[in-house]
């Protein structure tokens, strides 16, 4: 069989064990170790629809990469999974040789599965994106790999979606995700920040305008892009912080008329904008321009409220989570925790029944500071009515960097008559380390393990095992985000002690009794009446 010299050039260019040639969407040639790499021989591959070789989740990526490969241009490497039962991943590099009649040469090499978890569109969640980016930053710092953060805005996407049916809109979302993935490092370093904004990490192949043109052509939606290079000389920790600020700023503000020249500059600009917000937050904290909302935490044995969690609400209506994160970043969190404790003690002192108990959140950064324990001691010394009625929930929004010191302060709070709870267990990687190192009274199970319990046997098993572990350690448990009677039944049967969620009451200006379950008679059940909360 005679081989076109251009094909030999393609094989040499591919520098791989297997070369595929794709023409009009089908494999027109396969040369090399096809059976070992792709699980099929060369004759079987020849004539196959190119995109059908890969899993359905990766086909939008394959379509985008194929469409974006212009004459003389190289695209990739991208890592994808082969279709079929075996979990077989390959890395592809595509090249459209000049004057090759539209044929695309593809080098194929075996590859490990991408690290971390991808969603159904092949995108990373924001948290996973940052975690993998940390590893890339470390690699760039050691090897000199040139990386950049690319931010992509699809203009007018809402108007386009409104003209589509639901299946058409879903197909467009998959196409957008595939196109963005095709531009990212290994096809696996992209995240969706909002319905029309994406971020991705990539090497430095070309100008962002070229990437925007490819994305616009592939998706038929106008794309705008900007890149912020990673400074290879910066420490990975600083690069990751810069990434977070840049992503937050892009999510809030979009692409600016004069985008930042580097990731460091992006961070600096965002910090300046954030500092103005932080200044307003600092003023709100110092002047106590916030209120507390109260949500019942129910004893599942009795159905009555055991205590209420006091949740901070700011006057401007801003997201408490974002403002608390900002408070931690700019060293305002301890002052905020002190202020919330003061308001909670004042509220307990005003309750002459002596029955109310309040739980307040305490940052991991605050609990290691001896001044907080001293402050609580002084507050309780002035208010006998509040003693034994204040519960502290240690949050994981900021990691505890000194567990022995934290445990010392936790025991001091317990010595003052307070219960101490570890909040959002399972939300962070350090949860089990905290449980091992800290002596606690209560563990609150993160809502993501609770919300879907009624239909998810795996999460139910996880909750049951955690409850057993806590029972062995003489620690009580709380399930948060209990929103349906079915989930309440599951956590009760799992042995959870307390539950919190909209099923029992939303946060309100004043502590309210827990909503009660209205029993359903057998006749009503036969008539199709469901249980309700009155």
Residue 105 sits in a domain whose CATH number is: 3.30.450.20
User: What is the residue whose two structure tokens read 């909040």?
Assistant: 423
- Domain annotation covers residue 280: no
Instruction: Provide the domain count of the chain.
Output: 3
The DSSP letter of residue 322 is: H
- 436: three-class secondary structure by DSSP: helix
- Cβ density class 139-155: b for 16+ within 10 Å, e for less: ebbeeeeebbbbbbbbe
CATH code assigned at 163: 3.30.70.270
User: What is the residue whose two structure tokens read 């004893």?
Assistant: 299
- pLDDT of 299-315, one tens digit each? 999 999 999 999 988 87
Upstream peptide bond of 77 is cis (omega within 30 degrees of 0): yes
100 with 231, same domain: the answer is no
Strands ordered across the beta sheet of 89-95: 26-32, 18-23, 104-111, 89-95, 74-81
How much is the pLDDT for 409?
95
Beta carbons within 8 Å of 355's beta carbon, 6+ residues apart = none
- Domain annotation covers residue 259: yes
Last residue of a domain, one of 58, 83, 111: 111
- What is d(CA 466, CA 445) in angstroms, rounded to the nearest whole number? 9
Residues 66, 104 contacting (CB under 8 angstroms): yes
The DSSP letter of residue 71 is: B
Last residue of a domain, one of 239, 274, 309: 274
305 with 449, same domain: the answer is yes
Vertex 24 angle, CA 22 and 25, to 5°: 65
- Domain annotation covers residue 117: no
Those residues of the chain that have pLDDT short of 70 are: 1-16, 71-72, 99-101, 231-235, 238, 256-281, 316-323, 325-326, 328-331, 396-399, 427-430, 452-460, 516-534
How much is the pLDDT for 533?
32
How much is the pLDDT for 257?
57
How much is the pLDDT for 513?
87
How much is the pLDDT for 234?
61
How much is the pLDDT for 527?
38
- What is d(CA 259, CA 124) in angstroms, rounded to the nearest whole number? 24
- Domain annotation covers residue 479: yes
Domain containing 80 equals: 5-111
326 with 465, same domain: the answer is yes
508 with 373, same domain: the answer is yes
How much is the pLDDT for 256?
65
- pLDDT of 59-75, one tens digit each? 999 999 988 877 667 88
Strands 305-314 and 358-362: parallel
Residues 442, 477 contacting (CB under 8 angstroms): yes
387 with 448, same domain: the answer is yes
332 with 455, same domain: the answer is yes
User: What is the residue whose two structure tokens read 């599965």?
Assistant: 113
Structure tokens at 439: 């002596």
Last residue of a domain, one of 274, 302, 327: 274
The DSSP letter of residue 530 is: P
190 with 227, same domain: the answer is yes
How much is the pLDDT for 258?
62
385 with 333, same domain: the answer is yes
User: What is the residue whose two structure tokens read 């386009």?
Assistant: 160
44 with 172, same domain: the answer is no
254 with 339, same domain: the answer is no
CATH code assigned at 400: 3.20.20.450
- What is d(CA 54, CA 19) in angstroms, rounded to the nearest whole number? 16
410 with 463, same domain: the answer is yes
Cα separations (Å) of 384 from 47, 291, 350, 380, 414? 83, 23, 11, 6, 16
- Domain annotation covers residue 246: yes
298 with 430, same domain: the answer is yes
- Domain annotation covers residue 18: yes
- Domain annotation covers residue 284: no
């Amino acid at each position: 069989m005679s081989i076109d010299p251009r094909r030999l050039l393609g094989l040499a260019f591919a520098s791989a064990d297997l070369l595929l040639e794709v023409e009009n969407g089908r494999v027109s040639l396969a040369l090399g170790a096809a059976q070992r790499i792709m699980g099929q021989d060369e004759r079987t591959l020849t004539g196959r629809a190119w995109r059908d070789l890969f899993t359905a989740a990766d086909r939008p990526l394959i379509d985008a990469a194929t469409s974006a490969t212009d004459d003389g241009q190289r695209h990739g490497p991208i890592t994808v999974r082969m279709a079929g039962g075996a979990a077989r991943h390959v890395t592809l590099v595509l090249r459209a040789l000049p004057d090759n009649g539209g044929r695309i040469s593809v080098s194929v090499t075996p590859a490990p599965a991408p690290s971390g978890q991808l969603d159904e569109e092949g995108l990373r969640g924001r948290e996973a994106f940052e975690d993998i980016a940390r590893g890339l930053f470390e690699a760039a710092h050691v090897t000199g790999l040139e990386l950049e953060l690319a931010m992509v805005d699809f203009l007018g996407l809402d108007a386009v979606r409104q003209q589509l049916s639901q299946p058409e809109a879903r197909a467009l979302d998959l196409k957008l995700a595939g196109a963005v993935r095709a531009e990212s490092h290994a096809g696996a370093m992209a995240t969706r920040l909002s319905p029309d904004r994406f971020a991705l990490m990539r090497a430095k192949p070309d100008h962002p305008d070229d990437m925007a043109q490819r994305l616009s052509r592939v998706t038929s939606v106008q794309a705008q892009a900007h890149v912020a290079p990673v400074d290879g000389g910066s420490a990975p920790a600083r690069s990751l912080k810069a990434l977070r600020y840049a992503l937050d700023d892009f999510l809030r503000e979009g692409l600016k008329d004069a985008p930042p020249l580097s990731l460091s500059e992006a961070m600096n600009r965002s910090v300046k904008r954030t500092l103005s917000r932080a200044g307003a937050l600092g003023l709100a904290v110092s002047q106590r321009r916030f209120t507390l909302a109260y949500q019942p935490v129910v004893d599942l044995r009795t159905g009555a409220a055991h205590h209420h969690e006091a949740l901070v609400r700011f006057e401007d209506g801003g997201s408490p989570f974002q403002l608390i994160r900002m408070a931690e970043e700019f060293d305002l969190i301890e002052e905020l925790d002190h202020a919330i404790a003061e308001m909670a003690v004042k509220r307990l002192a005003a309750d002459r029944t002596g029955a109310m108990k309040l739980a307040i959140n305490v940052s991991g950064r605050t609990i290691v500071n001896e001044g907080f324990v001293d402050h609580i001691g002084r507050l309780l010394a002035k208010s006998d009515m509040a003693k034994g009625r204040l519960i502290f929930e240690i949050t994981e929004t900021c990691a505890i960097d000194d567990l022995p010191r934290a445990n010392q302060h936790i025991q001091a709070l317990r010595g003052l008559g307070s219960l101490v709870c570890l909040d959002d267990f399972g939300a962070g990687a350090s949860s089990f380390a905290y449980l091992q190192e800290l002596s606690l009274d209560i563990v609150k199970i993160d809502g993501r393990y609770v919300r879907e319990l009624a239909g998810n046997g795996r999460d139910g098993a996880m909750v049951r095992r955690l409850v057993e572990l806590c029972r062995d350690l003489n620690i009580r448990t709380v399930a948060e985000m209990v929103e349906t009677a079915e989930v309440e039944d599951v956590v009760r049967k799992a042995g959870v002690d307390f539950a919190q969620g909209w099923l029992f009451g939303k946060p309100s200006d004043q502590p309210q009794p827990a909503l009660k379950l209205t029993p359903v008679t057998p006749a009503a059940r036969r008539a199709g009446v469901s249980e309700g909360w009155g």
